[in-house]
Amino acid sequence: MNAQTHHAYAEFLPESHRADSTTEPVSEWWEWRGRRIHTLRAAVPDAPVRVLAIHGAGGHSGLLWPAVALGFRENVDATAVDLPLYGRTIEPDPGGVRYGDWIELLCDLVQRTAAVDDRPLVLFGASMGGMLAYEVAARTGAVEHVVATCLLDPADAEALATATRWNLPGRSGPRLLRWLDPVCGRVRVPIRWLVHMHRMSRDPELSRLCAADPLGGGARVPLGFLRSFADYRHTPPETFGAAPVTLVHPAADAWTPPELSIRFLERIAGRREIVLLDNCGHFPVEEPGVEQLATTLRAVLAEAGGSGR
């Protein structure tokens, strides 16, 4: 697949949403700790708001771009990032990538751009990217709003077992990973061995595309990355007040059931909202959920753009 992979994923959206954006993204690069980080960008210098899209396991910027485009009617400056191991980002030490690296990269990216651009920033996190967006907002204090399709806390044993194929009782899965880490933590295996890629979509053809995509679901990840995710402790939601959080969870998600994300969201101390996307699987492409997602994104962006920040 080439740099225009987003077109392949856009084909699965309802036809009425495929042409929401008339602006093609361009590739941009920046150096971060010896890595060459790739982003897709639709720069709109006079837009009142910015959005940064964050993918999850098996994702990348091109896969996520059609969802980002759902909000373009609100006149936004949009970026989608390829996290190390995925997309076109160049990672010199793939065996050493850990979940904490993703957090630090995203925090640095948000703070780097905030230093030169004071427009309000909305984070849109898909799948695992939802918790990444939440954590980056908590750490940086530079985010106007968090929109997440999923909020799976690895500290929740049930959520962790649901998100991965390591469906061992209690915390025995993480314990096994800690035991294996010193021996084979750098060993890379296909991501589809570790997570339920076949549950990515209610459309089998879309699930197959995701699983075969060498930039996403066809990539290989180190076992140590899964261990680092299982052991990561996010900012407690009871202390979170960095930004409003809107959960846009697919209602028919066969991979990560909505109730797991909802119970985390309901612990958040600050402003929060739940929008269930009717008829949508984990990768939301079905109506009426896609229209609900588009409406919610546009409302959040319009509010953020009028914040005057």
**Tell me, what amino acid is at 146?**
V
Helix, strand, coil content of the chain in percent (nearest 5): 40, 20, 40
Residue with tokens 């962006």: 301
Q: What is the pLDDT along the chain (309 residues), one digit of tens a residue?
A: 444 588 899 999 998 888 665 568 999 999 999 999 999 999 999 999 999 999 999 999 999 999 998 888 778 999 999 999 999 999 999 999 999 999 999 999 999 999 999 999 999 999 999 999 999 999 999 999 999 999 999 999 888 888 777 654 445 666 677 777 788 899 999 998 888 888 999 999 999 999 999 999 999 999 999 989 989 999 999 999 999 999 999 999 999 999 999 999 999 999 999 999 999 999 999 999 999 999 999 999 999 998 644
pTM of the model: 0.94
The confidence score (pLDDT) of residue 309 equals: 46
Q: Are strands 121-125 and 145-148 parallel, antiparallel or unpaired?
A: parallel
* 136-to-75, 76, 110, 132 alpha-carbon distances in Å: 24, 20, 8, 6
What letter represents residue 306's amino acid? Answer: G
Domain spans in the chain, listed from the N-terminal domain onward = 5-305
CA distance 265 to 151: 7
CATH of domain 5-305: 3.40.50.1820
Q: Which residues contact 148 (CB under 8 A, 6 or more apart)?
A: 124, 125, 126, 129, 130, 131, 133, 134, 245, 246, 247, 248, 261
